[in-house]
Amino acid sequence: MRLVLNSNSHASTLFFFACALIFVGLGFRDAWPPDEPRFALVAKEMVNSGQWLVPMRGGEIYPDKPPVFMWCIAFFYLITGSLKVAMLLPNAIASLVTLGLTYKLSLRLASEKAAMLSMLVLLLSPQFLIQAKFAQIDALVACFIWISVYGLIQHFYVHVNWRWYFAAWFFMGLGIITKGVGFLPVLLFIPIAFFAFTSGSHRGKWSLRMLFGPLVMLSVVAMWLAPLLYLGLIKQDPQIQQYLSNILFKQTAERYANAWHHIEPWYYYIVEVIPVFWITPIAILVSKAKSLKDALTHNHAYSSLLIWVILVVIFFSISPGKRGVYVLPALPALSMVAGLVLANSTVSRGLVLFARAVTSLISAVLLIAGLALLFHEPTAVKLMTRFDSDSETLVRLSIVLLVLGFAGLCTHIVYYVYNKKRNAGDGELLARQLLAWLFILTVIPSTFGAWLLNDYRTPRIVLQNAESQISNMLTKDSTAFEVGIVSFKEQYLLYSPFEMAHFGYHTPKEVENGTAWAWLANTSEPSREQTKVSGQRVRPPMRQRFLLVPSDYKFQCADLSQATSLGVVHRDEWLLLPATAASATCDLPANGPVFNSYDGSSD
């Protein structure tokens, strides 16, 4: 049966539904590891320090990514004053732009129905919605890449439009200073050139002015890179030189050709990512292989988009380092192809059964997992041991899973009864059921789930325990204290209620250990500096120092019997070491850096 979803009102309703899905839950949770606390911390330091040119993490340069994504979070942090909201807004807005452009481009190339279905397919693709609701960099760079693709398709296949052509290069440049791979739309020139010159339809679209496109892209990159080059090459700032070396070489060419982590086989995307995270367009195209061939015949725009998707997947497959989110920029193009195929054909009974089977299976698995955690003690004990969790957290997780599974299964019951009464068409009913199911599996985790699990996903409890223990350990003549941390992750600096010193994120462990020991041992005596109070010179109160150490760190040059356990978070037990635990001497090198997480200073 055909999908009866071809009016403009349906498209508007679907877009506002997408807005609700993406924006619901903003402010309900904090930044969750592994990536969110890093970007949130960098953005927070930008606002606090006023230094936006170079990303800083706890006073130390963060050399792994260009700054645009952190700029966006910092901008919204300035406006809203809430880091919880600000960290999620850039991707939420970017994803809606991607969704809207997918609709608009499909509308110009095909029909209202194809445009609406393309938007529906993209929204039902797991990878798109997941990235829209998390503070990772990929949804934003995917948006910039998709704007570039939109501009090129507009110019070469809709009508000659040099503004859109140069806008495409502008956003490529913006994508490059967001995450390096902003140049991916350049691959689109391969199918565009092939179809243009084999069909003889290149007149007016190709001219020497095209050469100004790369200059536009480089100009955008230069707006950020030129000040860095001035500071690094002219002013000879060693920190800037180190940052440039890392961001221009190690994090680009070296990371692509000789990756040092996330090593996966060449077929990783084809076998492990695309079938799961792109399941919606893939299921449609596999079930409609014949219709796909018919839809692409003499349709050079859609053929170019599909070839570009393949080229993007090949590009990332060549690199030994792979993550599923890398191929996200190609998903809107594939959704457009799937939307066109679906608009030109019928929804087969097999596709309906497959969609219902997948959603039923996921809901059933969630329900069974919740029941197992709640009532099957061996499973609960095994998980608590593996993840160093507690029974309260496991109960909270089981409640979320039970609600998700039960509510998801209810959508099948409700729409089965609805179909029986109204005798609605399979296609229309399937779309409504999938959207209802998606609403449940999005809203509940974003609100209720985030509220229940937030404490488990942040180190606040351990840091509060540290603050309480420090208060009990302070001597009568000292009310001031300083805390250092080794082997840290960004969330410990982000959520710390007190000033935190660290010894460099990439400092070798031996040097970090020796430097931390020196920092802890050298400040047990009061400062010699004096200040005037009521005309008399008095010494300021002694600042006692404490060190946070993971239990598996094997910290040397200290009496670990004096350590106090603060609890377990993120599978690490944390210990609190007082200054009295530091050994009198230590043979480890102590020449590492010391960074202050509050004021951004370093020694």
Q: For residues 318 and 432, state if they share a domain.
A: no
Q: How far apart are the C-alpha atoms of 495 and 38, rounded to whole Å?
A: 11
Angle at 126 (CA atoms; ends 329, 374), nearest 5 degrees: 145
Q: For residues 187 and 232, state if they share a domain.
A: yes
> In the chain, which stretches have pLDDT less than 70?
1-8, 200-204, 251, 260, 383-390, 418-427, 475-479, 523-542, 597-603
Q: For residues 39 and 128, state if they share a domain.
A: no
Alpha helices in 388-521 (DSSP H): 391-422, 426-444, 450-457, 460-473, 490-494, 509-521
**pLDDT digits 0-9 by tens, 193-242:** 999 888 766 666 788 889 999 999 999 999 999 999 998 888 888 888 88
Of the three residues 309, 343, 377, the one that is the final residue of a domain is 343
Q: For residues 338 and 358, state if they share a domain.
A: no
The structural domain count of the chain equals: 4
Burial class of residue 282 (count of CB atoms within 10 Å of its CB; 0-12, 13-18, 19+): middle
Q: What is the pLDDT of residue 432?
A: 83
Q: For residues 384 and 266, state if they share a domain.
A: no
Q: For residues 356 and 330, state if they share a domain.
A: no
Q: For residues 545 and 427, state if they share a domain.
A: no
* Joined tokens for residue 595: 């960074």
Does residue 603 lie in a domain region? Answer: no
Task: Say if strands 480-485 and 60-61 run parallel, antiparallel, or are unpaired.
Answer: unpaired
Domain that holds residue 488: 461-527+539-596
Does residue 360 lie in a domain region? Answer: yes
Q: For residues 222 and 250, state if they share a domain.
A: yes
Does residue 532 lie in a domain region? Answer: no
Task: Say if strands 572-578 and 564-569 run parallel, antiparallel, or are unpaired.
Answer: antiparallel
Do the beta carbons of residue 161 and residue 171 sit within 8 Å? Answer: no
pTM, entire model: 0.90
Q: For residues 320 and 172, state if they share a domain.
A: yes
Does residue 43 lie in a domain region? Answer: yes
Element housing 546 (H / E): strand 543-550
Q: What is the pLDDT of residue 204?
A: 64
Does residue 1 lie in a domain region? Answer: no
Do the beta carbons of residue 410 and residue 418 sit within 8 Å? Answer: no
Does residue 3 lie in a domain region? Answer: no
Q: For residues 496 and 547, state if they share a domain.
A: yes
**pLDDT digits 0-9 by tens, 4-56:** 444 567 788 999 999 999 999 998 999 998 899 999 999 999 999 999 998 99
Q: For residues 278 and 338, state if they share a domain.
A: yes
Q: What is the pLDDT of residue 388?
A: 60
Element housing 266 (H / E): none
Does residue 2 lie in a domain region? Answer: no
Q: For residues 324 and 423, state if they share a domain.
A: no
Of the three residues 457, 475, 492, the one that is the final residue of a domain is 457
* Joined tokens for residue 19: 């807005």
* Joined tokens for residue 266: 């060449």
Does residue 449 lie in a domain region? Answer: yes
Q: What is the pLDDT of residue 247?
A: 81
Of the three residues 72, 87, 102, the one that is the final residue of a domain is 87
